[in-house]
Structure 1
């Protein structure tokens, strides 16, 4: 073999390159372990190729396409029981308030802060609370406080689906079939009860669309409820307000 031609044996490895001299003798290469190590370092330091990067990006995009919808669906699914839980918690607070104070409140704030007797807080039927009412108050009946504000949506409790439970409570005739079934708190509510109507202390929610309503309604009233205007505890689509939901919380004794 001509002088200067290297021969490499796969059995010996790169550290054992040799060439044959003119006399046919084996002549070891001067390439030592240090030089070989540098060659290997340069090879490993070249990084990823463009094809390898594209493959990695493709895998990441596929994973994101699968994970993001799953997380979103889980978040939406969690909103349904949260709304139901919030409504149930307020309902239970109203019931316990009635047991202690022997009156119904006209807003949710009365469940959080001790009621006043100066007229700033009212009973559901419109009268001022008495000192005896205040003494019987054993709350808070809810953990959350009502934000300050004069707008209806400002005085509200936040819940899931970006909806809010309005602070003010109303009366609702459960047997009415027309849209004009909500009765404002105050003397009109007392009159409705005196007329033997089936009246409920009722919560109002705003910011909930029809799809979200039917998801919550299935949990509260059951899958068989098909007429949300006339039946069930949860009512929707009344008075032309498509984003307002009524929850008939506590029946008022006749």
Structure 2
């Protein structure tokens, strides 16, 4: 059984794509409320399914997301729960559970934002990446990265990239991303779905890392209390799985 739903794409933050991919901003879906803390869920990404990179070619099924025009990826870091919600349509979701977490004062940090800054994102399949990026993520594990290539990689990823093993990480939609805690078998939590009991597990959909400088200050703000730049823990991820039958999404944080 294939673990992923669609081919993978690296997600580059801040670049217009010609499609309606969005990071952050206000969630537009009715029902996007955390049942544990009663706050609005954080919209991390909204992916525009008119982008052919979200579709399957070479089979009879070209649109694996059925009737949907977008896929919204929500989470609540205030509660840090394992969240599950069904995408009802392009205007509403139904939150099925928020398990294992609880709201805590000043968690993950004081004055946590109600939303992340809205900005575009672009999907790159691996063969579409610039050659110098493709070389390092697919072929060359030089460590440290040669100085004459560090600047180009840093410009592409939007952060300093000096070491393959410490700095060369990315956000991914589709495919089988690198997961800090490895693959998981998750059963669809929607009790009315045939996948809930038929033994077929959910498909991996996305892995998004803590990335304050990229507009995703998930567990720490972009600067320390003194206003100075700092290093960030990108080994923290939100991992999203999806049921390919009822379009329920499971969102959970994972860390090393």
Q: Compute the TM-score of the two structures, normalised by the length of structure 2.
A: 0.22
Q: Return the structure number with greater strand share.
A: 2
Q: Return the structure number with greater helix share.
A: 1
